[in-house]
Structure 1
Amino acid sequence: MAVDLHAFVLAGTGSGCGKTTVTLGLLSLMKKRGLRVQPCKVGPDYLDTGWHTAVCGTASRNLDSFMLPVPVLNALFCEQMQHADIAVIEGVMGLYDGYGTDPDYCSTAAMAKQLGCPVILLVDGKAVSTSIAATVMGFQHFDPSLNIAGVIVNRVNSESHYQLLKVAIERYCSVPVLGYVPRMEGVALPERHLGLVTARESVINQQPWQEFAETLERTLNIDALLALSQMDTQPVGEWPVLPAADAGAGLTLAIADDEAFNFYYPDNITLLERTGINIVRFSPLHDSHLPDCQMIWLGGGYPELHAEMLASNTCMLAQLRSAHQRGVAIYAECGGLMYLGSSLEDGNGDIWPMADIIPGHSKMGKRLTRFGYCEAQAVQQTLLSAPGEVLRGHEFHYSDFTPETPAVMDCRKVRDGKTLQAWSGGWQVGNTFASYLHVHFAQRPEMLNHWLAAARSAL
């Protein structure tokens, strides 16, 4: 079916090449042109999508092919494009970097081919001239079936430097160069141990960023980019079996949403809304009382940076304990697990009392405790899964949790067909389930049926 649709993937030669910064500039430029922009991010990252959302006002969507089957991911993408003129999709790591050594598994290149989107390759122009053509040519030849439709050169010193790079690339690679990004002071996204600082903690409309967008308007050929990003067809998708439209009717879900807890996939919230559930938001940091609810969701975030304030809000901790004792169906991911534990030791070595619903202690470390995709098989009934069911998700944390109760999931990390790690994780206490695993509900919507049934069982 022919559609009037624009979409492109901004890919890099590797991590740290400036993809997020340039993506934010492009989102700003597209929005200034009056286009309805749908930002997306390849992979499970919450932080980049938060910045995308802050810039263009539209919730950025994660396109994660480890957690989501091809038909489901395509269906979600097509649904978002019903309300957009263009999708700006930021890649992950380098163009061909995926999960393991297969460049067609969970990579930016694989996602571009799956969606039928052209790739705009971002290359580093620092301290190079004609050799940049060899870099571009290598990416072209590595997978000739991939549509690398254009190039943008980052960190260019001057107009004359850019012209040298442009001529070399177009002469030897026969691909158009769409412009360049000059080196600019003050244009950098703040970082911390998990990566970027969340968008809600910083301001992107400061003068250096405004000047950055104005500069890109002069140095990038947006008309040419739009012409290259025209898509003739949408990818073919198919929805999984979803919970009934009234499955959540009469139930209220309270979602933690503040500086400490704000890592949520928008698709997950949309799927919950489709069940007819009533969703309200609350702040474990600032509120003294929970909303009247039958379900609670504590997402990931940075509780370790706000541990003293979380511990001092004893009213909220008491409210959570009371809700747990009443059988409210509580689900916690990563930072939420740390909050529901007995105590949390922050990066300074200070120990703070937490909700004490999942007995155990969280301790911040100096390096990643676990990072990457993994599978988790339930060994008993949990809030999200029946025994034997497998969830696919992502872990990324510097903390470690020492539990005082047995784990309820067998977890493993498999790469290139080999099991690299195996461990136990996830803890179920009463009607409360918490783990380090971040999941996308669309992979197995039955998760929501389990959660909703648990909520109704306590009524």
Structure 2
Amino acid sequence: MARAAKHAFVIAGTSSGCGKTTVTLGLLRALMQRGLRVQPFKIGPDYLDSGWHSAVTGIASRNLDAFMLPTQTLNGLFAKQMQHADIAVIEGVMGLYDGYGTDPNYCSSAAMAKQLGCPVILLVDGKAVSTSIAATVMGFQRFDPTLNIAGVILNRVNSDSHYQLLADAITRYCGLPVLGRVPAMADVALPSRHLGLVPAQEQTPKDERWTLLAQQIEKTVNIDQLLSLSHLNSLPEGDAPTPPDAALADGLTLALAEDEAFNFYYPDNLEMLEHAGVKIQRFSPLHDEKLPDCQMIWLGGGYPEVHAAKLAANVRMRDSLRKAHQQHIPLYAECGGLMYLGESLTDGESETHAMCGVLPGHSEMGKRLTRFGYCEATALHDTLLARKGETLRGHEFHYSDFSSPLPAAFDCCKWRDSVAVSRWQGGVQHQATFASYLHVHFAQRPDLLNHWLTLARGNL
């Protein structure tokens, strides 16, 4: 039997904190229970929301990042994932029009919806408001009349009478369909900490809460109407990125750190390496005593500061990583990985813990964000990923600061509305180890992996 037409929609909010992630998780589970093949997406660079998508669905959520990825590449990756899906559920970033700087058409949920040809379902917090909610919705409607806001879902609305009042006001003054409501449900609230949500990897599985949320959404949200409003007429035109050199990748094994402390990875990055021929062997810096046999190593971001005492206590793993560095096995570390590779780490409780000692330097947690947002990083000398003078686009989000006597690897710049608002130097290249706070999506320029692969081949 032929599959039905494809669907896609962006679930966008009026602001951060309006409940996008929780409602997205409920919709994903409700659609799955209808037998639909769902594909979750997250607009922007966030790992935490997409990690919860993956945990609830069992399907790797993909990031749609218009800053790091060229339009054709992003479209190609989206279309590739939709080949085997019935519906894309795309969680937006911050508020609907919040993007890079003050341009609502760059890196915003609204811009992504228009790029992909998807309707927007606007999630509005209905708590402690009545007719004024229509003014809020009308403002989002009129801000960009070219955007297809197809319907509204009201969050944190507990009674039918309150919902009816709000729905009548929106229908009367905005002419938009209101698809239903989601009540406040304390049992499905997502825990958070300094970087945002607590990663799904740290939580004891509680599958029943997502089933309960899906059942609630089936009762109070018109899923049939949502599907009728979210037909995807065509997939956007684009090209999947060319993988790195298969001849270089053949026979290589990558040791990938993955546990409660390190789990920030874009699935597209891992797939690019695997499709080129790299075998990925996962290991845990928290629980394992040594690295697997490998020719390359990747320590992703995460929360080493939360697990610092346990990481410090695993002396054998720290020794194993230090030995691999001494053997010139090329090692790539992002953010949390950088912190772990230093000599020591001072956590949020002012306790200092010994780390790997691969890199001379010390990490210290602060009380506020050190840096947050997109930036461009130009290599000051040859590194594992970029040659001198080459520029990478990435994202930083951290409370810690890493100090080291090593020379900086990158000159970094943060832009806002075409004006450089801050510059700094960061990252270090030490022998065959490269580490920085920058999170990078490899699909922006897949050939940047070839230097890493070339160095790794020397260890076969």
TM-score (norm 1): 0.98
The corresponding residue for 1:72 is 73
- 2:434 is the alignment partner of 1:433: yes
The corresponding residue for 2:134 is 133
The corresponding residue for 1:58 is 59
Deviations 1:11-30 (A, max 9, x none): 00000001001001101101
The corresponding residue for 2:273 is 272
SS, match of residue 421 in structure 1:
strand
Deviations 1:184-225 (A, max 9, x none): 233310011111001111246365544332211100000110
Counterparts of 2:275 and 2:286, CA distance in 1: 29
Counterparts of 1:89 and 1:32, CA distance in 2: 18
Counterparts of 1:393 and 1:112, CA distance in 2: 22
The corresponding residue for 2:112 is 111
**Alpha-carbon distance, 1:165 to partner:** 1.1
SS, match of residue 274 in structure 1:
helix
Q: 1:25 to 1:204 in 2, by over 3 A?
A: farther
SS, match of residue 156 in structure 1:
coil
SS, match of residue 256 in structure 2:
strand
- 2:144 is the alignment partner of 1:143: yes
Counterparts of 1:440 and 1:166, CA distance in 2: 41
Counterparts of 1:125 and 1:182, CA distance in 2: 10
The corresponding residue for 1:198 is 199
Counterparts of 2:216 and 2:276, CA distance in 1: 45
Counterparts of 2:209 and 2:296, CA distance in 1: 43
The corresponding residue for 1:295 is 296
Counterparts of 2:204 and 2:102, CA distance in 1: 38
1:14-413 matches, within 5 Å, as 14-203=15-204, 205=206, 208-413=209-414
**Alpha-carbon distance, 1:357 to partner:** 1.1
> Which stretch of the first structure deviates more once superposed, 248-257 or 232-241?
232-241
**Alpha-carbon distance, 1:179 to partner:** 0.5
Amino acid at match of 1:59: A
> Which stretch of the first structure deviates more once superposed, 30-39 or 180-189?
180-189
Counterparts of 1:116 and 1:352, CA distance in 2: 50
Amino acid at match of 1:126: K
The corresponding residue for 2:457 is 456
> Which stretch of the first structure deviates more once superposed, 184-193 or 138-147?
184-193
Counterparts of 2:241 and 2:165, CA distance in 1: 51
**Alpha-carbon distance, 1:247 to partner:** 2.9
Counterparts of 2:71 and 2:446, CA distance in 1: 15
Counterparts of 1:114 and 1:36, CA distance in 2: 23
**Alpha-carbon distance, 1:458 to partner:** 4.4
SS, match of residue 53 in structure 2:
helix
SS, match of residue 213 in structure 1:
helix
Amino acid at match of 1:394: H
Q: 1:245 to 1:4 in 2, by over 3 A?
A: farther
Q: 1:204 to 1:9 in 2, by over 3 A?
A: farther
Q: 1:326 to 1:192 in 2, by over 3 A?
A: same
Counterparts of 1:181 and 1:298, CA distance in 2: 39
Number of corresponding residues? 458
Give the conservation status (yes or no) of the 8 Å contact 1:123–1:153: yes
Determine what percentage of the aligned residue pairs are the same residue.
68
Deviations 1:34-73 (A, max 9, x none): 1111001000000000110111110000000010010000
**Alpha-carbon distance, 1:267 to partner:** 0.4
SS, match of residue 136 in structure 2:
helix
Give the conservation status (yes or no) of the 8 Å contact 1:55–1:204: no
SS, match of residue 304 in structure 1:
coil
Structure 1 residue runs without a partner (length 5+): none
SS, match of residue 114 in structure 2:
helix
RMSD of the alignment, in Å? 1.4
Amino acid at match of 2:196: G
The corresponding residue for 2:444 is 443
Counterparts of 2:207 and 2:450, CA distance in 1: 44
Counterparts of 2:6 and 2:238, CA distance in 1: 16
SS, match of residue 149 in structure 1:
strand
Give the conservation status (yes or no) of the 8 Å contact 1:378–1:409: yes
Deviations 1:310-330 (A, max 9, x none): 111111111111111111010
Counterparts of 1:97 and 1:305, CA distance in 2: 30
Deviations 1:144-196 (A, max 9, x none): 00000010011113101111111111121111111011122333100111110
Counterparts of 1:261 and 1:295, CA distance in 2: 17
SS, match of residue 248 in structure 2:
coil
Counterparts of 1:123 and 1:339, CA distance in 2: 40
Counterparts of 1:406 and 1:96, CA distance in 2: 39
SS, match of residue 186 in structure 1:
helix
